[in-house]
Amino acid sequence: MKTIRSLKKMHFFFLILILIGCEPKNSTDQIYPTAFKGIIDFTNWDFEKNGNVLLDGEWEFYWNELLTPENFEKSNLTPNWIQVPKPWNNHLDKEQKPLPAHGFATYRLRILTSPKQKKLSIRLVEIRDAYNLWIDGDLAIKHGKVGKNKANTIAQGDAKLTTFEIENGQAEIIIQVSNFRSSKAGFIRKSMLLGTESNMYRVRSRSIGIVFFLIGCYLIIGISHLYFYQMERKIKGALYFSILCLLSMTRVMTTGDMLLIYWTNIPTELSSKLAYLSVYLIILFFFKYLNVLFPREISSLAIRITTWSCIILSGYIIFAPNEISHYATPFFQGILLLCSIYLIYALTLVLIRKRRGGLVLTIGMLIVVLSGWHDTFYEAKGTSDGFLFPFGILSFMLLQAFFLVRLFASSIDRTRRISDMFRKFVPVQFLKKLGKKTTENIPIGIAKEEELTISFSDIRSFSTVAEEMSSQELLIYLNNFFEKMDAPIRHNYGFIDKYIGDSIMSIFDRKDEEHIYHPGDALRAGIAMHEVQRNYDLQHNSMFPIKFGIGIHTGRVILGTVGSAFRMDSTVIGNAVNLTSRLEWLTKYFDAQIIISESVLRLINPSDYHLRQLDRVVVKGNSNIISIYEVFDANFIELKEMKIKSLPFYEKGLEHYFNSEWEMAIENFHKSLDIYPRDKVTKIHIKRCKKYRKKAPHKNWKGEYYYDIK
């Protein structure tokens, strides 16, 4: 009975997973605008209320022509019409013959909107194989390289998103497309998705979030089974299962948003081959895995036939040009049909003979087979339902995890007790702030408001570094950095509140009845952090020297606890925290190591440090104008000396800038650049001066600059 109840819960969970993986279809309760004769009318469409819309319908189409906005302005062109989405090789020419898949063409669509609509975004998932997108005469996206022959065309396959302004309630979209690789060309499965900027970014975030979820699941389960195999080499099933996970992960990264191309910039042709190979090899290792579980039911002959079939198909994909690789699909469908029939026979024997775990595995295999068939027809016919095979494999993997839970129940229970103990862990200094000595019986929702100094540090170009490392190397790299940063913070009377990815959020609170020390503590800690890392990199000749920025701000915050009865954490919230995070982001913009706010400057002795004013800023979420300053004590000696020597001219230039004296400001900034030619801050201000010289800021301008930082 327990097994049956558990299976019901698992079935419900699998259903949720599969539903998550499907693209939501448009509701049939409302009529969506479609294009007619190259025009789509959204004048009565509320994008905020009604949501995003696919630009389906009748587009202008110019075969064997690569037209630009200038071509449409200079001459009256006679358009053909094509239905989108639809591969152009399914479109009939004037002689009622289908167009060839390989070639080039131009699409054009005019969009009409309400005059109130000022900005929209477009998301393109798959247009084969290369394209240039113009919106109102501006080149918005250059995807691959568009050419008139194979030699001059470079394909690219990842998803793109762009935002554009709308004037007078209308916009013109022109797309040049060339294809000399794929068997289907143009808009394959979907047209472009149009919507508000926030909605479009939400769609993209959801899509990428699902991919990350799948990748994480595959990677964790795969590595754990590979570890089991390392512990006991006789368990071949663990090895095959681990390979299945990695192949499924590859499939996810080479389909949909094609994040593998985005992350690695590999050629689209290679990504396409990996997508095909991952499916063929999944079938191969899937049967090998089943043979380990049920050796009497899955015969050696079936394994040999499946193995050689998949090897032959894989060899064809590897060596055949991409433009003919689709010829393998019918053969694979035949193999998949035979495998499915054989699986039904074998699993029937498993159930009749009441093999242990047969029922659960049968359910998992059926999910895999059905999702595999779905994806095969999706690839061949171009339906718009989305790929389900990765979720089918994931469902099967989770079923295996179900058995592992039963086998290692005692170990998991022990781990859970240890985990429960650490879930309520909070820094000791934090507890003192809340008037508690231990974490026992600490209530959820306890809070205290106080003026503190917050410090945010973040590693620059972390994603680039992460791509060069394995997961284990990356964790060692991060922990090594965190370990070195701990001492400077603690020695300056601060404590680390939390680690957020590669970021460190620390709090400083030292003060007495007469003096406030924590702004200076935070600044000294920041300088020390940079000096410690710089010395470490020099001593160890680091392959990946760490560069990071630190933002420091003093303000009132709320300290407290949040969570539930099963999971609790400490937190610091408030406008001061948000502002500190934005100051850290500005270190990248200004190429500064440390940026402090004016509230910090007021509470320290400026003569104790080398600093200069950077700007007067207004950041998102804060309407006040805030002066910010760079502290460059931790810079290399040569760099520090150049900043000190150029400082008089820089400060004069900044004074003239704030007084709207653009010519004098530019003159002094150039004198500063003569001393310190690589000064990014000075170059930014020169650029602004030239801009304001042409078009002055508003009358009440006080030198502020608005930064839209999330």
pLDDT digits (tens, 9 = 90+) for 207-249: 788 888 888 888 888 888 787 777 666 667 778 888 888 888 8
Angle of CA points 368, 374, 375, to nearest 5°: 90
CATH label of the domain that carries residue 132: 2.60.120.260
How many Å apart are CA 53 and CA 192, to the nearest integer? Answer: 8
Domain assignment of residue 315, given as a range: 2-22+203-407
When pLDDT is cut at 50, 70 and 90, the band that residue 271 belongs to is confident
Mean pLDDT, to the nearest integer, of 501-508? 89
Alpha helices by DSSP H, listed for 434-559, are: 462-467, 471-491, 518-540
Q: pLDDT-derived band of residue 5, with 50, 70 and 90 as boundaries?
A: very low
User: Bigger pLDDT: 195 or 340?
Assistant: 195
Residue, of 79 and 6, whose pLDDT is higher: 79
Whether 413 maps to a domain, the answer reads no
Place of tokens 């009604």: 50
Residue 635 has pLDDT above 50, yes or no: yes
From CA 584, how far away is CA 455, in angstroms rounded? 8
Same domain? For 523 and 606 the reply is yes
pTM for the whole structure: 0.45
pLDDT over threshold 70, residue 261: no
Q: What CA–CA distance (Å, rounded) separates 663 from 409?
A: 75
Sorting pLDDT into bands at 50, 70 and 90, what band is 403? low
* Chain mean pLDDT for the chain: 81
Angle 175-178-184 from CA coordinates, rounded to 5°? 105
Number of H helices, E strands in the chain: 21, 23
Res 604: pLDDT:
92
> What CATH number is attached to the domain comprising 461?
3.30.70.1230
What's the pLDDT score for residue 409?
A: 45
Residue 596 in domain: yes
Q: How many domains does the chain have?
A: 4
Classify burial at 618, counting beta carbons within 10 Å of its beta carbon; exposed 0-12, middle 13-18, buried 19 or more: middle
Asked if residue 27 has pLDDT above 60, the reply is: no
- At residue 428, the pLDDT reads 61
Query: 326 and 382 share a domain?
Result: yes
Q: For the segment 343-365, what is each residue's pLDDT rounded down to a tens digit? A: 888 888 888 888 766 777 777 77
User: Which of 163, 195, 227 lies at the terminal end of a domain, its last residue?
Assistant: 195
Listed residue (576, 537, 539) closest to 556, CA to CA: 576
Is the C-alpha dihedral spanning 286, 292, 296, 302 positive or negative?
positive
Q: Are 333 and 212 part of one and the same domain?
A: yes
Q: What is the mean pLDDT of residues 491-506?
A: 88
As a whole number, mean pLDDT of residues 541-562 equals: 85
- pLDDT at 257 > cutoff 50: yes
Q: CA–CA distance from 395 to each of 250, 291, 402, 412 (Å)?
A: 17, 19, 11, 21
- Non-local (6+) Cβ contacts of 499 within 8 A are 482, 505
Tell whether the model's pLDDT for residue 260 goes beyond 90: no
Do both 321 and 461 map to the same domain? no
464 in the same domain as 403: no
Res 460: pLDDT? 84
* Phi, psi of 578, rounded to the nearest 5 degrees: -65, -40
Residues 157, 243, single domain; the answer is no
On whether residue 543 sits in a domain, the answer given is: yes
The confidence score (pLDDT) of residue 350 equals 83
What DSSP string describes 489-520? HHHTTEEEEEEETTEEEEEE--B-SS-B-HHH
Same domain, 75 and 155: yes
The crossing angle, in degrees rounded to 10, of helices 389-407 and 358-381 is 160
pLDDT band per the 50, 70, 90 thresholds, residue 671: very high
Are 531 and 610 found together in one domain?
yes
Looking at residue 159, what is its pLDDT? 72
Judgement on whether residues 576 and 442 belong to the same structural domain of the protein: yes
pLDDT of residue 382: 40
Distance of CA 692 to the CA centre of its chain: 36
Q: Quote the CA–CA distance of 422 and 568 in Å, as a whole number.
A: 10
The model's pLDDT over 409-441, given as tens digits with 9 standing for 90+, comes to 444 455 455 444 544 455 666 666 666 655 555
Domain assignment present for 630:
yes
CB neighbour list of residue 353: distance below 8 Å, 6 or more residues apart: 297
Amino acid sitting at position 373: W
473 plus 567 within the same structural domain? yes
User: Does residue 209 share a domain with residue 188?
Assistant: no
Q: 412 in a domain, yes or no?
A: no
Phi, psi of 94 (to 5 degrees): -65, -25
Query: Burial code of 494-528, b = ≥16 C-beta within 10 A, e = fewer?
Result: bbbbeeeebebbbbbbbbeeeebbbbbbbbbbbbb
Asked if the structure places residue 668 within a domain, the reply is: yes
Q: Which of 635, 659, 678 is the last residue of a domain?
A: 635
Query: What's the distance, CA 13 to chain centroid?
Result: 25
In a domain, 417, yes or no: no
Contact 61, 40 (CB under 8 A): no
Instruction: Specify the DSSP element, H or E, that contains 623.
Output: none
Same domain, 493 and 614: yes
For 67-118, the pLDDT digits (tens) are 999 998 887 888 899 988 888 888 887 778 889 988 999 999 999 998 888 8
User: Does residue 623 form part of some domain?
Assistant: yes
Q: Looking at mean pLDDT, say which of 8-22, 171-185, 634-648 comes out highest.
A: 634-648
For residue 313, which of 272, 284, 356, 353 has the smallest C-alpha distance?
Answer: 284
Instruction: Specify the pLDDT at position 446.
Output: 67
H-assigned helices in 382-427: 389-407, 409-423
Q: Single out the residue in 620, 635, 650 at which a domain terminates.
A: 635
Per-residue pLDDT tens over the stretch 291-334: 887 888 888 888 899 889 889 988 988 888 876 777 787 888 88
Task: Check residue 333 and give its pLDDT.
Answer: 83
pLDDT at 10 over 50: no
Give the residues across from 557 on adjacent strands.
450
